Amino acid sequence: MDTEAQQTERDRSSRPEPEAAEDRSRFALLARVTDWLPGGWFTLTLFACLTFLLVLNTFVAQPFQIPSGSMEQGLRIGDRVLVNKLAYRFGAGPRRGDVVVFDGSGYFGDADYIKRVVGVGGDHVVCCDKKGRIEVNGRSVDETAFLYPGDTPSTVPFNVDVPDGTVFVLGDHRGDSSDSRDHLGSPGGGMIPVSRVIGRADWIVWPYAHWTRLTRPAAYARVPAAGASHG
């Protein structure tokens, strides 16, 4: 009886576990795929990496090259910024002071643009106060920390209410920027729908010497909520 019991136990242990058999089946299938692909494992690994990068670029983060001097001196021509595409995807919206990349098709032109958000939905934006500064919701904003040296906040006067679901944007180099001021009479009145915002520029990643994080200026921190200071 002991001999039979031992034999039965050995028989059971020699049977492949279902999970192990399934793993071997998957590996065999993968091996057949790599045998079929030119380059084998190298090609499969390269394909997996490219797929990962494509998903990352489409849904998470995307590099964007600065095409003009409209955001100098903080962002220079040729700089590459990393755009956070998840920044506004879960209920959050652009905030005053954010640097955003957006699709300007039908509003500014058939291209992607990078500008700074000056007004959000519900804001009242005016230029200029007695000292030549922009006002948002009745509060003057000191932009000297990021405005291009020698530039004034605007040589174009404006007095606008920003509709809900849109943003009013300006370049930091006001003398070399085509922005919301230049499209007040265009479709949309110079406003960009939040739905057209691709993401928030969070980092300068190239060239290495310019590597830095882009933070929201404190100049907008004291701006009151929309509707709090004007009728």
Active site residue 115: yes
Cβ neighbours of residue 128 closer than 8 Å, sequence gap 6 or more:
134, 135, 152, 153, 154, 157
Q: How far is CA 31 from CA 17, 18, 27, 38, 211, in A?
A: 21, 20, 6, 13, 43
Of 116, 121, 117, whose CA–CA distance to 227 is shortest?
121
Q: Which residue has the tokens 């031992």?
A: 6
Tokens matching residue 53 = 């990068």
Of 85, 115, 140, 154, which one is the catalytic site residue? Answer: 115
Residue 228 to residue 231: CA distance in whole angstroms: 8
Can you state the percent helix, strand and coil of the chain, rounding each to 5? 30, 25, 45
* 203: three-class secondary structure by DSSP: strand
Active site residue 178: no
Spell out the alpha helix ranges (H) of the chain: 2-13, 18-36, 41-59
CB 176 within 8 A of CB 69: yes
The residues assigned a catalytic role are: 70, 115
